[in-house]
Amino acid sequence: MVFNPIRVSNPISVARAAASFALCTCLFSGAAALEAQSETSPGWKLCRSSSPDERIAGCSEIIAAVGKESKHNQLAAYVNRAGAYQAKGDFAHAIEDYTKALEVDPASAVVLLARGAAQHAKGDLDAAIADYDKVIEKDKKSVAALMARASAWRAKGHAEKMLADLNQAVEFEKKSPAPLAARAGYYHAKGDHERAIADYSAALKRDPGLVSALIGRGGCYYAKADYDKALADFEAAAKADPKNPTALLDRANAWRAKKDFERAKADYEAALAAKPDLAAAKKGVEDMAKIIAKKRAGGPAPADAAPAATEHEHN
C-alpha cells in the first residue's frame, strides 16, 4: 500500500506517546491515503489529495458509484474519505466511513485501529477500547493497538491497566522509543523517578534526539535536585528544538535553581517569545527582573526559590 500524507497539526507529548506511536505506525492518523487499483473514475486523483476537502470531494464521487469498484477500491475510497474527515475533526463522519470500510473488509486490523482512534478522539473511550480489543484478539503482539489502548486507559483513569499494556508494548517493540517513553511518563507522573530515568534513558538510546524524553528525564533529575544533569537534558532538548517552550521554561527553572538569574531570565523570555500565553514564563521574567534589579542596586538579593517541579510533558 502507498500512503500520501495529509499534514495535521497535533503536538504530541510523552503523555500521549501511546497514541502517537499508533498514529505513526497505522493508517488512522487521518493523514494517509490508500492507493486504488485499476482506477477508472476521475475522482481517484482527488481521493488521494493531501487536501481534506479535495479528498472528500473525490472520494464522494467514487462512493456514489462504489458498486462499480473492486473490493480493494471500495475499501480505499471509504478509508481515504474517513481519513480526510478525521483530519478536519469530523469524527462522526470518519467513524461512519470506517464502519462502511469494515463492511467491505471486516478483518482489517488497520481499519479497526483507525475507527478506534476516531472513537477515542471523539471521546467515546469504551467504543475505542472495544476496537483496540478486537485488534489485540487477532494479534496479541500488536504494539500499535496496545499503545492506543494504553492511551485510552489513561484517559479513563485506569493507570494500572495502562501500565499493563505499556509493559507488553515495551516487551514486543524492539526499535521504536515510544513505548519506553510512554512508560517513563507513567513512572514520572507517579514520582518514581528512578524507573522513569531508566526508561527515558533506554528510549534515548533508540532516539538520542527525542525531545520529549530529554525533557522528561531532565524533569526527573530536576525533581531529585540534580540540576546539572537536568540542565544537560534541557540544553539538549532546546538544541534539538530551539523554539520548544517547555524545554526553554525548564532550562530557565534549572538556571534559577542554580541562582544564575541572568540566564534564567533570558530563557524565560525565550519561552515567552515561543509561547506568548505561557503564564509561568511571564511570571519568571517578572521575578528575575526584580531580583536582578535589586542586585544591581547593591542591596541584598531577595530570597528566591525555583519551582518545585519542572513543566512535564506527561501533564
- The verdict on pTM exceeding 0.85 is no
C-alpha cell at 207: 532516539
Are residues 274 and 162 part of one domain? Answer: no
Are residues 89 and 236 part of one domain? Answer: no
- Give the pLDDT band (50/70/90) at residue 40: low
Are residues 221 and 158 part of one domain? Answer: no
- Please report whether residue 226 resides in a domain: yes
- Please report whether residue 193 resides in a domain: no
Type of residue at 79: V
Q: Compute the distance between CA of residue 230 and CA of residue 36 in angstroms, rounded to an integer.
A: 50
- Give the pLDDT band (50/70/90) at residue 306: confident
Q: Compute the distance between CA of residue 218 and CA of residue 212 in angstroms, rounded to an integer.
A: 10
- Please report whether residue 187 resides in a domain: no
Range of the domain at 270: 213-309
| pLDDT score for 130 | 98
Q: What is the CATH classification number for the domain harbouring 60?
A: 1.25.40.10
Are residues 279 and 141 part of one domain? Answer: no
Query: Across the chain, what does the average pLDDT equal?
Result: 88
Are residues 225 and 135 part of one domain? Answer: no
| Percent of the chain that is helix, strand, coil (3-state, to 5) | 70, 0, 30
- Give the pLDDT band (50/70/90) at residue 309: confident
- Picking from 152, 173, 194, the residue at the C-terminal end of a domain is 173
- Please report whether residue 183 resides in a domain: no
Are residues 47 and 150 part of one domain? Answer: yes
**Per-residue pLDDT tens over the stretch 247-275:** 999 999 999 999 999 999 999 999 999 99
* pLDDT surpasses 60 at 21: no
* pLDDT surpasses 90 at 7: no
Total domain count for the chain? Answer: 2
- Please report whether residue 270 resides in a domain: yes
Q: Compute the distance between CA of residue 47 and CA of residue 138 in angstroms, rounded to an integer.
A: 30
**Per-residue pLDDT tens over the stretch 51-106:** 999 999 999 999 999 998 999 999 999 999 999 999 999 999 999 999 999 999 99
| pLDDT score for 298 | 81
Are residues 140 and 31 part of one domain? Answer: yes
**Rounded to whole angstroms, what are the CA distances from 241 to 11, 131, 157, 274?**
13, 35, 31, 11
User: Region 162-186: what's the mean pLDDT?
Assistant: 97
* pLDDT surpasses 80 at 212: yes
User: Region 112-133: what's the mean pLDDT?
Assistant: 96
* pLDDT surpasses 50 at 190: yes
Of 313 and 144, more confident: 144
Are residues 163 and 101 part of one domain? Answer: yes
Are residues 41 and 166 part of one domain? Answer: yes
Q: Compute the distance between CA of residue 70 and CA of residue 86 in angstroms, rounded to an integer.
A: 24
* pLDDT surpasses 50 at 50: yes
Are residues 146 and 78 part of one domain? Answer: yes
For residue 142, the 8-state DSSP code is -
- Please report whether residue 192 resides in a domain: no
* pLDDT surpasses 50 at 197: yes
CA 224 to chain CA centroid, nearest Å: 26
- Picking from 125, 147, 173, the residue at the C-terminal end of a domain is 173
- Give the pLDDT band (50/70/90) at residue 299: confident
| pLDDT score for 308 | 78
Are residues 93 and 40 part of one domain? Answer: yes
Are residues 52 and 146 part of one domain? Answer: yes
- Please report whether residue 203 resides in a domain: no
Question: How many CA atoms lie within 13 Å of 176's alpha carbon, on the beta-carbon side?
Answer: 22
- Please report whether residue 198 resides in a domain: no
- Picking from 173, 193, 225, the residue at the C-terminal end of a domain is 173
